[in-house]
Chains A and B, each alone.
Chain A
Amino acid sequence: MSELIRRSALELAAGLKSGEFSSVEVTQAHLDRIHASEDDFGSFITITDDLALETAQAVDAKRSSGEELHPLAGVPVALKDLVVTEGVRTTAGSKMLENWVPPYESTVHTKVKAAGLPVLGKTNLDEFAMGSTTEHSAFGTTRNPWNLDRVPGGSSGGAAAALAGFQAPLSVGTDTGGSVRQPAAFTGTVGVKPTYGSISRFGIIAMASSLDQVGPMGRDVADAAALHELLAGHDPLDSTSLPDEVSGFVEAARRGDLKGKKLGVIRQLRGEGYQDGVIDSFTAALDIAAAAGAEIIEVDCPSISYALDAYYLIMPSEVSSNLARYDGMRYGLRVEPDAGPVTAETVMAATRAAGFGSEVKRRIILGTYALSAGYYDAYYGSAQKVRTLIQRDFARAFEEVDVLVSPTAPTTALEFGAETGSDPMALYLGDVATLPANLAGIPGLSLPSGVADGLPVGLQILAPARRDVALYEVAGPLEAALVSAGGRVLDTLAEGLSAK
Chain B
Amino acid sequence: MKYEDAIKKYDPVIGIEVHVELGTVTKMFDAAPNSFGGGPNSNITPTSLGLPGSLPVVNEKAVEYAIKIGLALGCDIAESCRFARKNYFYPDVPKDFQTSQSDEPIAANGEVEVELEDGTMVTIPVERAHMEEDAGKNTHVGGATGRIHGAVHSLVDYNRAGVPLVEIVTHPITGTGERAAEVAAAYVRTLRDIFRALGVSEARMEQGNVRADVNVSLRESPEAPLGTRTETKNVNSFRSIERAVRYEIARQATVLESGEKVVQETRHWHEDTGETTSGRVKSDADDYRYFPEPDLVPLVPSRDWIEELRATLPELPAQKRRRLAAVWGFSDLEMRDVVNAGLLETIEDTVDAGAKPSAARKWWTGEIARLAKQQERHPTDLVTPVQVAALAQLIKDGRLNDKLAKEVLAGVVAGEGEPAEVMTARGLEIVEDTGALEAAVAEAIAANPDVVEKIKGGKMQAVGALMGPIMKATRGQADAGKAREMILAKING
Contacts and interface: CB of A to CB of B under 8 A. Distances in A.
Given A210-B294, A325-B94, A344-B91, A201 B55 contact: yes
A330 B87 contact: no
Interface string B148-175: 0000001010100000000000000000
Nearest to B86: A321
Interface string B42-62: 000110011111111110000
A247 interface: no
Nearest to A210: B294
A240 B158 CA distance: 26
A98 to B, nearest CB: 13
B284 A373 contact: yes
Contacts of A90: 52-53
A348 to B, nearest CB: 6
B289 A371 contact: yes
Contact of B89 (A104, A205, A208, A345): A345
A9 B57 CA distance: 35
B219 interface: no
B296 interface: yes
A157 to B, nearest CB: 20
Interface string A151-184: 0000000000000000000000000000000000
Contact of A239 (B51, B287, B297): B297
A324 B154 contact: no
B87 A321 contact: yes
A408 interface: no
B57 A239 contact: yes
A104 B51 contact: yes
A97 interface: yes
Contact of B55 (A97, A238, A330, A380): A238
Nearest to A97: B52
Given A325-B50, A330-B49, A376 B57 contact: no
A318 B97 contact: no
A239 to B, nearest CB: 5
A176 to B, nearest CB: 12
Nearest to B47: A237
Contacts of B291: 317-318, 321, 371, 376, 380
Interface centre among A318, A324, A348 (most CB of B within 10 A): A324
A71 interface: no
B87 A371 contact: yes
B96 interface: yes
B137 interface: no
B89 A327 contact: yes
A239 B53 contact: no
Contacts of B96: 324-325, 327
Contacts of A237: 55, 57
Interface residues of B, number: 33
Interface residues of A, number: 43
Contacts of B294: 208-210, 240, 318
B97 A324 contact: yes
B295 interface: yes
B128 interface: no
B156 A239 contact: no
A102 interface: yes
A204 B53 contact: yes
B336 interface: no
Contacts of B46: 102-104
A416 interface: no
B155 to A, nearest CB: 12
B302 to A, nearest CB: 18
Contacts of B361: none
B85 interface: yes
Interface in B53-101: 53-58, 85, 87, 89-91, 94-97
Contacts of B85: 321
A460 to B, nearest CB: 25
Nearest to B288: A373
B52 A239 contact: no
A203 interface: yes
B95 A325 contact: yes
A100 B49 CA distance: 14
Contacts of B87: 320-321, 324, 371
Nearest to B90: A344
A90 B297 CA distance: 28
Contacts of B58: 239
A128 to B, nearest CB: 9
Nearest to A235: B55
A94 B287 CA distance: 28
A130 B58 CA distance: 29
Contacts, number: 101
B53 A206 contact: yes
A102 B51 contact: yes
A99 interface: no
A106 B55 CA distance: 11
Interface in A181-229: 201-206, 208-210
Interface string A75-95: 000000000100000101000
Nearest to A197: B297
Contact of A205 (B52, B57, B91, B97): B52
B476 to A, nearest CB: 73
Interface string B273-315: 0000000000010010111001111000000000000000000
A104 B55 CA distance: 12
Among A209, A239, A368: residue with most chain B CB under 10 A: A239
A236 interface: yes
A430 B253 CA distance: 63
Contacts of B296: 239
Contacts of A204: 53
B51 to A, nearest CB: 7
Contacts of A380: 291
A240 B296 CA distance: 7
Nearest to B293: A209
A329 interface: yes
Counting chain A CB atoms within 10 Å of each CB, the highest count among B55, B85, B87, B297 belongs to B55
B55 A329 contact: no
A238 B294 CA distance: 11
A102 B87 CA distance: 25
A372 interface: yes
Most chain-B Cβ atoms within 10 A of its Cβ — which of A210, A317, A329?
A329
A326 B94 CA distance: 10
Contacts of B95: 324-325
Contacts of A376: 289-291
Contacts of A238: 55, 57
B228 to A, nearest CB: 20
Contacts of B54: 104, 202-203
A372 B291 CA distance: 10
Contacts of A104: 45-46, 51, 54
A180 B472 CA distance: 103
Interface string A93-115: 00001001011101000000000
Contacts of B52: 84, 90, 92, 97, 100, 102, 205-206, 325-326
17 contacts: A90-B53, A100-B52, A102-B46, A102-B52, A103-B51, A104-B51, A106-B53, A206-B52, A237-B55, A240-B295, A325-B50, A325-B96, A326-B52, A327-B89, A329-B156, A372-B287, A380-B291
Interface of A: 84, 90, 92, 97, 100, 102-104, 106, 201-206, 208-210, 236-240, 317-318, 320-321, 324-327, 329-331, 344-345, 348, 368, 371-373, 376, 380
Interface of B: 45-46, 49-58, 85, 87, 89-91, 94-97, 154, 156, 158, 284, 287, 289-291, 294-297
Cβ-closest 9 pairs across A and B: A324-B96, A371-B289, A209-B294, A210-B294, A84-B53, A203-B53, A205-B52, A104-B46, A325-B50
Given A205-B52, A240-B294, A321-B97, 17 more contacts: A84-B51, A92-B52, A97-B52, A100-B52, A104-B45, A236-B57, A238-B55, A239-B55, A239-B58, A239-B296, A240-B297, A317-B291, A321-B85, A327-B89, A327-B96, A330-B50, A344-B154
